Homo-oligomer: A and B are copies of this chain.
Amino acid sequence: MAPKGFRAAGIACGIKKDGSKDLALIVSEVPARVAGLFTQNRVKAAPVLYTRKRIRRGVARALLANSGCANACTGSRGIEDVRRSVEATSRTLGIPREDILVASTGVIGEPLPVERIEEALPRLSQLLSPQGFKDAASAIMTTDTVPKLAERTLMVRGKEISLLGMAKGAGMIRPRLATMLAFLFTDLEVPPPLLRELLLEGNSRSFARITVDGETSTNDTVLLFANGASGVSLREGIVPFRDLLFEVMEELALGIVRDAEGRTKVVRITVRGARTSRDASKIAFRIATSPLVKTALFGQDPNWGRVMAALGDAGVAVAPDLVQIRINDLPVVKGGTQDPKYDEEKVSASLKGKEISIVVDLHLGEGSYWVWSTDLSYDYVRINASYRS
């Protein structure tokens, strides 16, 4: 069930050439508290530059998001196009411009066809409804094959609060703060500093831990809206909203990995026993982005030597002779070399599954980290060799 006081819609306005949905609008009846995280890429899209600035107020009422065009590397025209779409949204909804946030995803470097957005807005706003979130989630898809939505409801003192999140992303995924587009809406009232804190913590456990290809987008945006329409405030006492939020964010992040471009495997890589969790994170991401590890996973080949080569190449001091590796909980490497208990047939057979676990223990300390990743397949190459055409 949609969070109270929020309505959404998604339609095709002609940005995408294939005529599929490409414009989403989500509106809160009352001003909502909002917190956001944005890409750390130094090249930032116009909507990121705009929304990052607007969000400092901590309050917003509407979010306009499009796919099919990233509005990135579009210079002053890109910023002007954002202003025009905000202006049109403001006119259509009859709400102040400063209450409107924007996000875009798609091809970099092409101008936003802002006339089509202006034209479509009246029709889009008429479709706004509590049932419109699925359409909105579809309208932010690019190479995604399924819309990614996650919902939870909770009873607190006889009142229902709910949380709904949506995300898109299938390639160019290697967030260092946020990833691609993810929007979260709740009718709980959450005081602003806490809202940002919760979003940051949730992000560090979800979107910050996924990678498809090691690429950080120019457009990554994560937004959390809280409009208080449930009549319940987080201040009132113990509402287990934290768990709810983290669950939804993890579900969406994992949804992105599951729908990653060309993936045949979802791989969880855990690094334990590092000196620090920062070291563990560096090594986990180094393994997760290694083309040789990823192609071996695609080939269902237990080529553990490539995991060893990758972990030695993370810019972190390791003691190769102490390294232990388990794949799908089967012994593979011990003391830096093949585990005497290694059974190649068994490990090979386990790699035919779709969910793979690789656990590396460095035996140097207490630092640990895990990430979700994918394999590297023909289809990733096919999709990205022909994405624009």
> A residues touching B (Cβ–Cβ < 8 Å)?
41-44, 70, 72-75, 77-78, 107-110, 171-172, 213-218, 290-292, 295-296, 298-299, 301, 303-306, 308-313, 316-318, 320-321, 333, 335-338, 376-378, 380-382, 384-389
Contact = CB atoms under 8 A, between A and B. Distances in A.
Nearest to A302: B388
Q: Which among A42, A74, A299, A333 has the highest number of chain B CB atoms within 10 Å?
A: A42
A375 B43 CA distance: 23
Given A73-B304, A213-B291, 4 more contacts: A75-B321, A218-B305, A291-B291, A296-B384
A127 to B, nearest CB: 31
A133 to B, nearest CB: 29
13 contacts: A42-B311, A43-B312, A43-B313, A73-B304, A73-B305, A108-B305, A171-B292, A215-B313, A296-B385, A298-B385, A299-B386, A301-B389, A380-B381
A312 B218 contact: yes
Nearest 9 Cβ contacts at the A-B interface: A108-B305, A43-B312, A299-B385, A295-B384, A75-B337, A109-B305, A42-B312, A41-B312, A213-B291
A79 to B, nearest CB: 11
Can you tell how many copies of this chain the complex includes? 2
B385 A320 contact: no
Contact of A218 (B72, B309, B380, B388): B309
A16 to B, nearest CB: 16
A214 B315 CA distance: 13
A291 B384 contact: yes
A322 to B, nearest CB: 11
A53 B318 CA distance: 20
A299 to B, nearest CB: 3
Contacts of A214: 291
Contacts of A77: 337
A42 B320 contact: yes
Contacts of A42: 311-313, 316-318, 320
Most buried by B among A213, A304, A313, A382: A313
A263 B145 CA distance: 29
A292 B109 contact: no
A362 to B, nearest CB: 11
A262 to B, nearest CB: 9
Contact of A311 (B43, B304, B385, B389): B43
Contacts of A292: 171-172, 213, 215, 384
A316 B41 CA distance: 10
Contacts of A333: 73, 109
A74 B337 contact: yes
B295 A381 contact: yes
A364 B220 CA distance: 26
**Centre residue among A218, A309, A310, A384 by max chain B CB count within 10 A:** A309
A147 to B, nearest CB: 23
Contacts of A310: 215
A74 B321 CA distance: 10
Contact of A380 (B41, B291, B321): B291
A317 B77 CA distance: 23
Contacts of A44: 312, 320
Given A73-B338, A385-B299, A41 B291 contact: no
